């Protein structure tokens, strides 16, 4: 899937999580950090390719991206597995714990969940593509949905652009509209504090 599809899917997953498991106490800073972390999580598994946004935005990043990609087995290998999710989870929690002293009003646990929600949504969306995802590494089999490969989506083609992305946007809009009161109360509680 393309980055904009992953971004939209990550946001949809975060909104769904907030509706199902409403956070008790949250500051505006936590909410903003969670959305940022969620969007980063939505593209994080693609760090295994040299054309990833991270590598494009640092000097000689494509060189480092090629080295990193080779170390993790290439695109849609380690970073696109449950094992990869565990490593992303551990490293992101370490980073958040390190940063906690400079951001004391941010609930790092919620930000961490938002990040991992984005990462998992990335793997789910990539499971819809022809390539699939090796969820169970070290077993190298790539799983996809539907199970028949020819019925799956080709990244960046018309099914993604005309059906999946608009469908995700419509579902996000519908979810926000049908849960307006819950989401408005959450935002209002943040602004009052």
Segment-wise mean pLDDT, segments of 10 residues, the chain, 193 residues: 93 96 84 94 88 77 78 80 95 96 92 97 95 90 90 90 95 95 79 57
3-state DSSP call for residue 153? strand
CB 38 within 8 A of CB 88: no
Q: List phi, psi (to 5°) of 108.
A: -65, -25
The predicted structure's pLDDT at residue 102: 93
The distance of Cα 132 from the centroid of its chain, to the nearest Å, equals 16
Q: Please state the pTM of the whole predicted model.
A: 0.89
3-state DSSP call for residue 106? coil
The predicted structure's pLDDT at residue 60: 78
The predicted structure's pLDDT at residue 190: 62
DSSP string, 18-56: HHHS--SS--HHHHHHHHHHHHHHHHGGGGGSTTSHHHH
Q: List phi, psi (to 5°) of 129.
A: -90, 165
DSSP single-letter state for residue 129: B
The predicted structure's pLDDT at residue 185: 83
């Amino acid at each position: 899937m393309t980055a904009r599809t992953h971004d939209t899917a990550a946001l949809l997953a975060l909104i769904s999580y907030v509706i199902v498991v409403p956070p008790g106490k949250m500051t505006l800073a936590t909410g903003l950090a969670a959305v940022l972390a969620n969007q980063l999580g939505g593209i994080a598994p693609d760090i295994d390719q040299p054309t990833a946004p991270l590598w494009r935005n640092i000097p000689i990043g494509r060189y480092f991206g090629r080295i990193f990609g080779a170390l993790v087995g290439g695109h849609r290998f380690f970073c696109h597995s449950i094992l990869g999710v565990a490593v992303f989870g551990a490293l992101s929690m370490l980073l958040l714990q390190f940063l906690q002293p400079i951001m004391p009003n941010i609930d790092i646990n919620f930000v961490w969940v938002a990040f991992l929600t984005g990462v998992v949504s990335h793997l789910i969306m990539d499971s819809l593509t022809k390539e699939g995802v090796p969820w169970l590494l070290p077993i190298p089999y790539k799983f996809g949905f539907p199970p028949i490969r020819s019925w799956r989506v080709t990244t960046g083609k018309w099914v993604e652009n005309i059906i999946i992305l608009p469908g995700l946007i419509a579902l996000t809009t519908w979810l926000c509209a049908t849960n307006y009161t819950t989401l408005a109360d959450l935002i209002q509680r943040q602004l009052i504090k």
